[in-house]
Each structure stands twice: as structure tokens, then as C-alpha cells.
Structure 1
Amino acid sequence: MSVATELKTFPCDICGVSFSQKSNLNSHMRVHTGEKRFSCEVCESSFSRKENFITHMRMHTGEKPYSCEICHFAFAAKSRLKRHMFTHIGDKAFSCKTCRSEFSTKKTFKEHMRTHTGVEALNCEICAASFCYKSALIQHMRVHTGDKPFNCEICAASFSQKSHLKNHRRIHSGEKPFSCGICASSFSAKSSLTIHMRIHSGDKPFSCEICKSSFSHESNLTKHIRVHTGEKPFTCEICQSSFSQKSNLNDHMRVHTGEKRFSCEICASSFSRKQHFKNHLRLHSGEKPFSCEICGFSFSDKSNLTKHLRIHTK
């Protein structure tokens, strides 16, 4: 019997997923039991699967055995190399072997597979988000309830996820166990390293379905989508002005409070917005990075270049 036609005779009694080998079913069961047999002695992370543990250890050793034949970028995990390759060929990473449908994200692929397996999705009754596992749904519900059962013993900060508390504790300890093998930057959270690595790889896995712009971070895509929808979910409680980004609302609030966080060490001028502060510093440095392509005249502030260009368009 070929691999393609091999029967999956070992079903999970909890979620109904079936496996062709009993060892794979045993590994899968740890998802439900929460058992994590493989522990890292360096940072105390633990894993339910040996292969995930081996991949994790490479973050500490710096070993990257999987290399891209096109750009020679190296990865600690084969799955990351596979994902990276799609940046070169522009394809979709996840293919359904049943109906040949293709998907760019694992989440949409797993949701699609339920149409073939008959396994029902676990849906949030409040926002209709769906999940593969009950534990993920329970974790998600804390977004709505505000429940934060994991507390920091040092500063009393609380978190909805245990992993977030673990990352937070490193702020107090100063521990940064996740190191970049290219530029030696180090991070307290694995997710931060993953995002950082995209600077080197150029990987932008989050794409806008409207204009095809792509982003290295999902939050940047969320912000970008608001350009198309016009959504401005962050509202000033004082004057009711609305903004598409929380950072813009924070900047705006300083108009009301009079706070000026950014101070010039040369002339003691102070500014409420970082961008205004950066523009001011160019007055001292003489830097003029914005140049007119028509006459070559340069400016320290982009807005001044925009005004100048009207001279040529009259």
C-alpha cells in the first residue's frame, strides 16, 4: 500500500482526527493532555514533541541546517525553509490533497480541511472566531471576559495566557534566550525573534487582499486594512476625534495634556510627537534627506518638500 492510499486507522477519541501510525496518535494525544515530556535546560521551555524540542534547541546553539538554494538564507526548522521558499515562487504554502485547493495560511487551511473530515469547528459565541482545539477557544474567551488568571509575583501584572506571563518575567530577570544568528540581537520572547528574522529574510507573510501590499507583522496588516475601510476605532474621550491607530490617539492626547516627552539636548526645545522631534534635530545636524527630483533642492522635513513641489506644478 502506498503512502498516498494508506488508511488512517488510529482515531483520536477526543476530536476525531485519525492517524496512519499509532506513534503519531500518541504524540497528538499530548495536545489534549497537556503533557510536555521534552524540557529545555537553558530556558525551561517544554515541548510535547521531540522534533519541536530539537528545533527549539537550535535557537540556543545557533545551528541552522536548512538553507535556501536561491538566496542561501538558513533556518533552524525545515518548515520555516519551506515557508520562506514561497517568497521566491509566489505560491501558496498549504495545499489540500483531497481537492487541490491552496491556502496562504495554516489557519485557513485547517479550517478548510474540516469540510472533508467532518470535524466541527469550535466557534466563539460572541465574535464567531473559530478554533481547532477547545483549549484555544478557552484562551480566546478571555479576550471577551477580561479574565487574567496568570499573575506576576514581582509587580502584580496579570495576563490571560501563561506564555505571556513567562515572557513578562524576563523583563525582571533580564533574560533574553532567543538570539538572532545573523546580527546577534537577542530577545526575551520567541515571537519577537520570529518577527525580527523577517528583517533579514525579507519575508512578508501577511498580504492585503485589496491592494496586495504585504507586511512582516500581522498587526501592520491590520493597521493597513483601515486605510481601505476608513475605520477609526480609537476615539478621544475629550474632543471625539478618531484615529486608525492607537499610537496616533496617544500622540493626540498630548494636545490636551500639554505633555512634551521628547526634549532636545542642544537647545532644550521639547515636543509632544516623536516625528516633530526628529524633524527638529535635523536643524542642528544639517541633515536634509528629502530632495526635489526636479531642481535638486533638499529639505529637512517632508512637508516642506511637498510645499516646494507646488512651485513646479503651477
Structure 2
Amino acid sequence: MQSTKKTYTCEVCDLSCSSKSTLNRHMQTHSQEKPYSCEECGASFARNYNLKRHTQKHFGIKSFICEVCNSAFLYRQDLKRHVQIHTGERPFHCAACGCSFARNSHLKSHLRTHSGERPHRCDECGSAFSESSALKAHRRTHSGEKPYCCEECGSAFADPSTLKRHKRIHSGEKPYHCSMCGSAFSQSSGLKSHMRQHTGEKHFCEACGASFSNTSALKAHIRTHTGEKPYSCQKCSSVFGRASALRRHMITHSGEKPYSCDVCSTPFARKAYLKEHLRIHTGERPYSCKVCGSAFSNSSALKAHNRIHTGEKPYSCEVCHLAFSQSSAIKRHLRTHTGEKPYSCQVCGKTFARNSHLKEHLRTHTLHKELEDFVQELN
């Protein structure tokens, strides 16, 4: 008579375990119970085995050495997994799609992309994750914990992968290369976004039809329709639709201008400003109008010029509803309502709403001086 091996099933996620002790260990992933604590740093663990592995980190003994690249490891199994990087061995295969993996744990995580299983749930907000590491990282969004610090600049991060990406800012490392043109990137997301330039893949805005090469750019664009500005300055309460805009804004508080022109030494807060400024010296005008061929040194000038052809006037006066094609034009117009006259003559103190009016006025002083000199010559 054939015997059937008994299995033990988890009441929370229906996972089947071969023994009761395995089930008990598994149940700790749901209860978050961590009874084993490190005497050195206070870190806690669900299993005694994990605590033993952890304590070896404090002693720093790495006795397992890779014969190929001399990398050192605390544990034999870590070395064994590392060697697969050199051999290219991927012994674990997905029966659904044929993808192969170097580790069984990677295969298990991958299988959840087919099943949609997300057994790890956040107690705070209910978000579910396919991996416990993802849940652990997510919890830090609630606690605000940032345990991973950059030794170069002191910036802190919630997860080690973000710190790893950040370090490439200092090292200049760009490990992701485009197979079509050779361009290099510090992040895989940068390479993916770049590849869409070759494939032509686009993401479209449902509100206005604008197309973007990546989803993050589309999300930032959608905020121009919704008016959402989730990034706020802690110094002056200014709000922004993009994180990059907030970072640029923070420089206005510090007054830092780290980028200097090699030709005239003019300092700039942003590298993009310096790049644009250099075109004054080189005469470069890389942005051309497709309608009339006019060339410009920056894309914003071309964008403003294009409105001459399209007739678009996106800037509207809230007082009298007159519309303008350029932001500078509406700024000048608003002074007719406010009475503001920011341009003053240093000779007589008279003020003007426009710089062009001040320039015209200054000629009256020049002509008057020339007339006085002429009269003196006659005398």
C-alpha cells in the first residue's frame, strides 16, 4: 500500500510545508515575531539561524574566496551563488515561460509574476507585495527610517538599491549600455527610456494627446492638467510638480553656483544654464523652426517662436482676459493693472514699466548732454 506524505498548510496564505517545524518558521513571516536579538546592534530575527549568520558580520571574517575575482564571502553558499555570475549557470527554470535563474529564490519570486500572488501585506495601509524584502522596504515609507547612508556626502536612503544607484553619482559609473548606439547610463531605467528612442515606443496623455518616451515623464506631465504639486520646499513652502524642480529651487536658498563659464567666468546654479550660456560664445543655435527655418540657442525660445505660426496664446490675464503667446508679455501687461514700474533712471529717478521705455528715456539725457556740449563749443 502506497503511503502519502503528510503536509502542513498555512491558514493565512495556504502555503504547504513538509513539516510542522517548517510551518512554524513560516508563520513567523505573518506574525512578524522576531524572538532572536543581536547583542551587538540590537537587530532582531525570526530564526536563530539568521541571527547566527548576522553576528558573523560584526566579526568581519570572510573566509570563502572567489578564485576568479578574489571577492570574499562570509558563507560558503554565498560564494557558490556568486560563482554563477562567472559561469553564467542558471539551473532553475520557469515551466511557464522558460526563463532561467541562478537562484531558486529568484525563480520563486518570478513565478509570482505569473500567479499574481502577493502574500506579504502591510499592516499600516494594506499594500501587498510578492516578496518580503519589498514589504520591508515599503514599511520604511511609514516609519521614515533611512538606514543606508552614503559615505561620500551623508545622504540617507530607505533601501540599499537606492544607495547603490546614488553612489554612481560620485563614481561616475554607468554600467547599462545601449546595444544599438553604445550610450551608457547609471540606471537601468535610463537605458529603458533611451531604448524607446530607437523603438519609437510612446506613452500618450489622455487629456491632450502629448506623447512621452517613459511613464515617469507622462505622470509629471499629467500634473500640469490636474495642478497637483506634491513636492514642497521646507524653507519657503513653495510647491512643485516635479522632484527635479524642487531640487533646482533649493539652490535659490543656498545661493550656490558651482558651474562657471571657462570663457567669461560667469557662474551658474545649474549645468543646463551654463550649457545654454556657452552658446553665446560659440554662436551655436541647434533648435530650428520647421516652418520658417529660424534658429535658436535654446528649446524654450523655439517653443515661444512656434506660437507665431500656431497662433497659440496660453497665457491669459485674470483681470481683463487678454491672452498672450509668451509669459514675458503677460508679465509686462500685468503692470498696466498693478501700476508697477520696476525700471528707474539713475540720472533723474523717473520710473518705467518696461526696460525698453527706460532705454528710450535715457536718450533724452544723452541728447541733452550732447546739446550742452555743442552750445559750449559755440561759445
Q: When the two structures are superposed, what TM-score results if normalisation uses the length of structure 2?
A: 0.47
Question: 1:1-24, CA deviations, whole angstroms, 9 ceiling, x for partnerless residues?
Answer: xxxxx999878x9xx8968878x9
The residue correspondences of 1:152-171 to structure 2 (distance < 5 A) are 159-165=212-218, 167=220
The residue identity in structure 1 corresponding to 2:345 is C
Task: Measure, in 2, the Cα distance between the counterparts of 1:187 and 1:259.
Answer: 25
Query: What does residue 201 of structure 2 align with?
Result: 147
SS of residue in 2 equivalent to 1:280: helix
TM-aligned CA deviation for residue 248 of structure 1: 1.7
Query: What does residue 287 of structure 2 align with?
Result: 234
Unaligned runs of 5+ in 2: 1-60, 86-105, 111-119, 156-166, 371-379
The residue identity in structure 2 corresponding to 1:161 is N
Task: Measure, in 1, the Cα distance between the counterparts of 2:63 and 2:293.
Answer: 58
Task: Measure, in 2, the Cα distance between the counterparts of 1:268 and 1:180.
Answer: 31
TM-aligned CA deviation for residue 242 of structure 1: 1.0
Question: 1:62-89, CA deviations, whole angstroms, 9 ceiling, x for partnerless residues?
Answer: x9x9xxxxxxxxxx996599389xxxxx
CA contact (8 A) 2:261 2:278 kept: no
TM-aligned CA deviation for residue 288 of structure 1: 1.2
Does 1:213 find its partner at 2:275? no
Pick from 82, 106, 112 the counterpart of residue 153 of structure 2: 82
Moved more, 186-195 or 243-252: 186-195
TM-aligned CA deviation for residue 249 of structure 1: 1.9
Task: Measure, in 1, the Cα distance between the counterparts of 2:261 and 2:136.
Answer: 34
**Alpha-carbon distance change, 110 to 259 in structure 1, aligned in 2, over 3 angstroms:** closer
CA contact (8 A) 2:152 2:170 kept: no
Task: Measure, in 2, the Cα distance between the counterparts of 1:123 and 1:132.
Answer: 9
Query: What does residue 300 of structure 1 align with?
Result: 353
Question: 1:190-239, CA deviations, whole angstroms, 9 ceiling, x for partnerless residues?
Answer: 3343333333344455x2452352224x5434433333332222222222
Question: 1:142-200, CA deviations, whole angstroms, 9 ceiling, x for partnerless residues?
Answer: 2343323x667888766433444555666787765544333344445433433333333
**Equivalent residues, number:** 256
**Alpha-carbon distance change, 224 to 77 in structure 1, aligned in 2, over 3 angstroms:** farther
CA contact (8 A) 1:40 1:57 kept: no
**Higher relative CO (CA 8 A, sep ≥ 6), structure 1 or 2?**
1
SS of residue in 2 equivalent to 1:82: coil
Task: Measure, in 2, the Cα distance between the counterparts of 1:147 and 1:193.
Answer: 29
CA contact (8 A) 1:10 1:21 kept: no
CA contact (8 A) 1:151 1:165 kept: yes
TM-aligned CA deviation for residue 243 of structure 1: 1.2
TM-aligned CA deviation for residue 300 of structure 1: 1.2
**Alpha-carbon distance change, 287 to 139 in structure 1, aligned in 2, over 3 angstroms:** closer
Task: Measure, in 1, the Cα distance between the counterparts of 2:312 and 2:224.
Answer: 27
TM-aligned CA deviation for residue 256 of structure 1: 3.2
Does 1:109 find its partner at 2:167? no
Q: How much identity, in percent, do the aligned residues show?
A: 38
CA contact (8 A) 1:40 1:53 kept: no
TM-aligned CA deviation for residue 301 of structure 1: 0.9
The residue identity in structure 2 corresponding to 1:109 is S
Pick from 309, 328, 341 the counterpart of residue 256 of structure 1: 309
SS of residue in 1 equivalent to 2:191: helix
Query: What does residue 89 of structure 1 align with?
Result: none
CA contact (8 A) 2:122 2:135 kept: no
CA contact (8 A) 2:251 2:269 kept: no
Task: Measure, in 2, the Cα distance between the counterparts of 1:166 and 1:40.
Answer: 28
Question: 1:97-136, CA deviations, whole angstroms, 9 ceiling, x for partnerless residues?
Answer: xxxxxxxx9547334xx9xxxxxx5544666532356664
CA contact (8 A) 2:261 2:274 kept: no
The residue identity in structure 1 corresponding to 2:191 is L
Query: What does residue 274 of structure 1 align with?
Result: 327
Does 1:224 find its partner at 2:277? yes
Does 1:244 find its partner at 2:297? yes
SS of residue in 1 equivalent to 2:249: helix
Task: Measure, in 1, the Cα distance between the counterparts of 2:253 and 2:235.
Answer: 8
The residue identity in structure 2 corresponding to 1:293 is Q
The residue correspondences of 1:49-198 to structure 2 (distance < 5 A) are 82=153, 107=169, 109-111=171-173, 122-124=176-178, 128-132=182-186, 136-148=190-202, 159-165=212-218, 167=220, 177-198=230-251
Task: Measure, in 2, the Cα distance between the counterparts of 1:298 and 1:237.
Answer: 41
**Alpha-carbon distance change, 80 to 262 in structure 1, aligned in 2, over 3 angstroms:** farther
Task: Measure, in 2, the Cα distance between the counterparts of 1:164 and 1:277.
Answer: 28
Larger radius of gyration: 2
Task: Measure, in 1, the Cα distance between the counterparts of 2:212 and 2:62.
Answer: 43
Task: Measure, in 2, the Cα distance between the counterparts of 1:227 and 1:187.
Answer: 30
Aligned-residue Cα RMSD (Å) equals: 5.5
